[in-house]
Structure 1
Amino acid sequence: MLKGKKVAVIVCIILTVVVSVTSCKKGKKNRRSVLPDSSIYSSKNFTDILLDSTIVNNFFKTVSAEDTIREEVKEFYARRSYQSAWFNKNGLNNAAQNFYSQLKGYTYDFADSSFQNVELDNLLASAESDEKDFLDRKAEVQRLELLLTTTFFNYAIKAYGGIAKNPLDLEWFIPRKKKNYQLLLDSLVSLNKGEKVREPVNLYYIRLKEKLRIYRNIERKGGWPKVITAKKQLITGDRDSSILAAKQILFMIGDFRLKDTSMTFTDSLKNAVVRFQHRMGLKESGNLDVATLKEINQPVQFRIQQIMLNMERLRWVPEELEKDHLLINIPEYMLHVFENGKQVWTMNVVVGKTASQTTIFKGNLSTIVLNPYWNIPQSIIRNEILPQLKRGTGYLTRNNMEVLSGNKVINPSSVDWSNYTKNVPYIIRQKPGNKNSLGKMKFLFPNSYNIYLHDTPSKGHFGDSKRAFSHGCIRLSDPKKLALYLLRNNTEWKIEKVNEVLETDKETGIKVTPAIPVYIVYFTSWVDNTGQINFRNDLYGLDAKLAAEIFGE
């Protein structure tokens, strides 16, 4: 009986403690959990070199750090039960060497000295020169431990998170996923010898970083010469002193593969120029014309800056894109189709002109519309159609347009168009047909920017090297190819049925299941699927805007 009472009392005490702890947790909803993560930590990851919260707090009394960095460091050690991340019983572990090499590589590649720290360098050198003796100096071990961890979080946020400015202010509306730097450091300190350090970035970033290193090496060797000529164009067979400079540049960047020191424009040089023009998005004539000379004479520093600006944008892109997606790169004027993670084909597109820029965002393509109506945006009605209507409604008839009040078609002559100068309280739309500005089909991915992909009756611009002519939407050079690709698994909509509907002028919607992600992006430098680096002009001035944030220009 007495034993039963004792048990009851013990159970009561335990329940009281549990309730108290639970209540405590409820009162701190915003605090992140700092319990050890058994999926990351195991006995092999821990050492008998310990710190405690007092040591961590005292460290930050002597080292300045932003609050976010302090919190990251404190959380990291709380999750490790304050066991060392960078030391084992024999001295510095592989993770310390890996991270220090990574840090030096970043400093070299980006010419960024912000992470240089004399104290860190000296302590590391001392730890490496006599590991056993260094381990006996407990205060120095703790100091180096915390310097490495603090430096890691500073580095990771800058190298992988990018600038603090909201990308929305830089006209980038693709959601930016927050990176988990705790998990990143967990992974780093758990690596075995020889294992590769994981970077929380996508493949495109890694490819560009490899090219950045090449261009940095060229810069450190003095860059490349300038092609100076009085001629407007250099072609095969020409002899000119400037041709030697062109050969030197193209050899340095990999387009010209011969060590040719002659001043003659050879067939080999022509082939090299074609390769260069392809990478620049120029007309592939093989001649050193005005446009090509302008690009070839851009200094290496300019190209390095282009690479770094686009690496910054790539920090905003998810590490892994969906296996199947569409990607439209505005400065490239190109649609890329990806299936199972690989590019399967591309298509020329026309994008918005500078005055009506195509917005950078992500959507999900869910509907194909055959024989679409075109609901004309108010901006076009106000600036282009209204002045015509004030002279008469014949413009609407000539362009196969109609006016709606609500859902009802009305006689345009019943409206006094002279009453309006800004927004018109009517819908004006162009009826389906061969002359419809959207052509015979459009592709919808719901968004607040009123942007979609569509056909066009004007096919003339798709062969131009610069294709910014639209009001903001994206015109496709071969919309039927895209439609049939998206419907390839739809047994109801085979090519015969699509063609049958296209022969009519009846608007018909087709659901795309599952919806496919569409990324509209802005990259002026990237590495393509053949491993070649590409450059394009800053069509909308967004490179200049981003450069002002990063380089203060």
Structure 2
Amino acid sequence: MEAYFLSIVKKRPVQIGIVAFVICALVAAFFIVKSVKKKKRAIQADQSVYSNQNFTDLTTDSLEVESFFKGFPTTDSIQQEVREFYIRRNYQLAWFNEKGMTNAGPNFYSQLQSHSLEFDDKELITKSLDSLIMLSQTDEKQFISQKENISQLELMLTTTFFNYAHKTFSGTIKDPFDLEWFIPSKKKNYQTLLDSLVSFTRGEKVQEPVNQYYILLKDKLVAYREIQRNGGLPLVETDVKLLAIGDSNTCISSAKRHLFLTGDLGENDNSNIFTDSLKTALVRFQHRMGLVENGKINTATLAEFNIPIEQRIKQIMVNMERLRWVPVEMEEEYLLVNIPEFRLHIFDNQKQVWQMNVVVGKDVHKTSIFKGNISQIVLNPYWGVPTSIVRNEILPKLKRNPGYIARNNMEVMSGNTVIDPYSINWNKYNGNVPFSIRQKPGNNNALGKIKFLFPNNFSIYLHDTPSKSLFNESSRAFSHGCIRVAEPHKLALYLLRKESDWDEGKVDNILKTSNQTVIKLQPTIPVYIAYFTSWVDNSGALNFRKDIYHLDQKLSDEIFGETVKQ
């Protein structure tokens, strides 16, 4: 057979060459088709959005897209978003059909204008976009007669949309971890969002991929921008340190005007007399600011009155940036600790069911921002004293008197063995010691009678405390980082409400003893440790708090290039 083939090659070289060429061509075609099929599988038109009636005969192509980027530069990631969008719809136009521009174009442009006004952001609306939109609206017939106009505006709207979406819904900060924010969030699909926008025909509102609290805070931003445009909030200035019902002072009319504009005061009589209605409005205002709610004009209340509206607007925007990092959809059941508010919020069916005061870490012992899952409740816990506290606070006392251990119901441990503190020469240690120290269960245990564990890299947990008086303070940053809760017993029973093996009687009987008992929770309960200095509460009221860890300043530097003063 081999000899026969060689003889044919010698006799018919031309024919063999043709056959070889055809075979090679077929093989190449096979691999090209296979490659194309792979690409089609990777990026396909979304059939849930596109149907025959959605498609248009107007198209662009890859060369036109690449040519557009040369005159309208943007980031590589945005360019890739644009490419993928047109590949998925087979390069058919999104903002135009045979009749001209669809409703999606003017609707999105209006959205851009609102964004520019609300956020004082001039970057997204360019002169080119402005002029093309104006031309399309003033002389539509002339505009659509020139294919170049349609192509430019089509690609400009698509590119601007992806720029807008990433900036508005993902945030301007590339890595929140750099700002000590360790709550994970899911990547958002802006392809699908644009699919929805351009497929709507009657100006329907697109569901924005942001948390509900972002939307509420954005509404307040709009309201404060309006107040700013109309002259801002009046300052409330006086030398008197305390004003109450019945008092008269020239600053009171300014206070009434301020509270009327912020919605705390229903009717403004413009007088300088301290009235009952002013007291009620002041209580509302003090509640929103996290102050003592005494209904009087005092030094702390005056300080909040006199923060300029420009600073309040930036504070709102800084917290909107944080809300872009929060998951769009929260779990059905979760806990949320807001550090600057010093409050723990308990949610069920995504609605707040109750809340309580907490104590958080001092500025030098910041409580970390992250998400965990409560997996255990510990009754009558031991407290393993952190190494830093042993080194900096306990060791100096042990050098003076090892009796400190017994007086504080503690134990010195070497592995699992209890060591007599008097048998140790504490004076030879100046830093870390080769022993651990723990406090035994009891009413004076630093963790109280209950702690709530959620595994994390920060050694943070929720716990009871014997120092109950601290919960009455308006500012409650006193701990070494862990979070003390005001109502641990109520919280434990709430988390155990679905556990048939546990009821209040059983829990209370164990708490009467000094025996450590660990209760495992199944399923675990998500807990968010967050940091918001401005938010809208369940009643619709806009809240502000002090930037106790100076994190607003860091984020403001990133967004505005300057700090937010408080």
- TM, length-normalised to structure 2: 0.92
Q: How does 1:247-286 map to 2 (within 5 A)?
A: 247-286=256-295
1:479 aligns with 2:488: yes
Q: How does 1:329-344 map to 2 (within 5 A)?
A: 329-344=338-353
Check conservation: 1:34, 1:78, Cα contact below 8 A.
yes
Larger Rg, first or second structure (1 or 2)? 2
Matching residue's letter, 2:66: N
Q: How does 1:522-533 map to 2 (within 5 A)?
A: 522-533=531-542
Residues 439, 21 of structure 1: CA spacing in aligned structure 2 closer, same or farther, 3 A cutoff? farther
> Which among 507, 510, 517 is matched to residue 501 of structure 1?
510
User: Gaps spanning 5+ residues in structure 1: where?
Assistant: 1-9
Q: CA deviation at 1:21?
A: 5.7
Check conservation: 2:461, 2:483, Cα contact below 8 A.
yes
Check conservation: 1:393, 1:412, Cα contact below 8 A.
yes
* Partner of residue 154, structure 1: 163
* Partner of residue 441, structure 1: 450
Deviations 1:424-457 (A, max 9, x none): 2221100001110000010000001000000001
Q: CA deviation at 1:66?
A: 1.3
Write the distance in 1 (CA, Å) between the matches of 2:330 and 2:25: 52
Matching residue's letter, 1:490: E
1:198 aligns with 2:204: no
SS at match of 1:484: helix
Check conservation: 2:107, 2:203, Cα contact below 8 A.
no
1:74 aligns with 2:83: yes
1:145 aligns with 2:146: no
Deviations 1:367-421 (A, max 9, x none): 0000000001111111110111111210000000001111222222222222322
Write the distance in 1 (CA, Å) between the matches of 2:41 and 2:497: 46
User: Gaps spanning 5+ residues in structure 2: where?
Assistant: 1-21
Check conservation: 1:98, 1:197, Cα contact below 8 A.
no
Matching residue's letter, 1:450: S
SS at match of 1:282: coil
* Partner of residue 164, structure 1: 173
SS at match of 2:400: coil
Deviations 1:344-369 (A, max 9, x none): 00011111111111000000001000
Of 134-143 and 278-287, the range deviating more from structure 2: 134-143
> Which among 228, 240, 253 is matched to residue 231 of structure 1?
240
1:178 aligns with 2:187: yes
Residues 18, 424 of structure 1: CA spacing in aligned structure 2 closer, same or farther, 3 A cutoff? farther
1:366 aligns with 2:375: yes
Q: CA deviation at 1:64?
A: 1.4
Check conservation: 1:92, 1:128, Cα contact below 8 A.
no
> Which among 84, 92, 95 is matched to residue 93 of structure 2?
84
SS at match of 2:148: helix
The alignment covers a number of residue pairs equal to 541
> Which among 520, 531, 534 is matched to residue 511 of structure 1?
520
Q: CA deviation at 1:19?
A: 6.0
Residues 545, 366 of structure 1: CA spacing in aligned structure 2 closer, same or farther, 3 A cutoff? same
* Partner of residue 475, structure 2: 466
Q: CA deviation at 1:39?
A: 2.7
Q: How does 1:420-459 map to 2 (within 5 A)?
A: 420-459=429-468
Check conservation: 2:338, 2:530, Cα contact below 8 A.
yes
SS at match of 2:107: helix
Deviations 1:481-506 (A, max 9, x none): 00000000111110000001001000
Write the distance in 1 (CA, Å) between the matches of 2:96 and 2:414: 75
Q: CA deviation at 1:120?
A: 1.0
> Which among 92, 105, 112 is matched to residue 96 of structure 1?
105
Matching residue's letter, 1:517: P
Check conservation: 1:188, 1:198, Cα contact below 8 A.
no
Q: CA deviation at 1:24?
A: 8.5
Write the distance in 2 (CA, Å) between the matches of 1:14 and 1:388: 87
Residues 24, 415 of structure 1: CA spacing in aligned structure 2 closer, same or farther, 3 A cutoff? farther
How high is the sequence identity, in percent, across the aligned residues? Answer: 59
Write the distance in 1 (CA, Å) between the matches of 2:41 and 2:219: 36
- TM, length-normalised to structure 1: 0.95
Matching residue's letter, 1:35: Q
Write the distance in 1 (CA, Å) between the matches of 2:234 and 2:242: 18
> Which among 409, 414, 419 is matched to residue 410 of structure 1?
419
Check conservation: 1:325, 1:339, Cα contact below 8 A.
yes
> Which among 109, 112, 126 is matched to residue 118 of structure 2?
109
> Which among 542, 549, 560 is matched to residue 551 of structure 1?
560
Check conservation: 1:90, 1:131, Cα contact below 8 A.
no
Write the distance in 2 (CA, Å) between the matches of 1:362 and 1:25: 42
Matching residue's letter, 1:86: W
Write the distance in 2 (CA, Å) between the matches of 1:347 and 1:460: 14
Q: CA deviation at 1:38?
A: 2.1
Write the distance in 2 (CA, Å) between the matches of 1:420 and 1:104: 66
SS at match of 2:353: strand
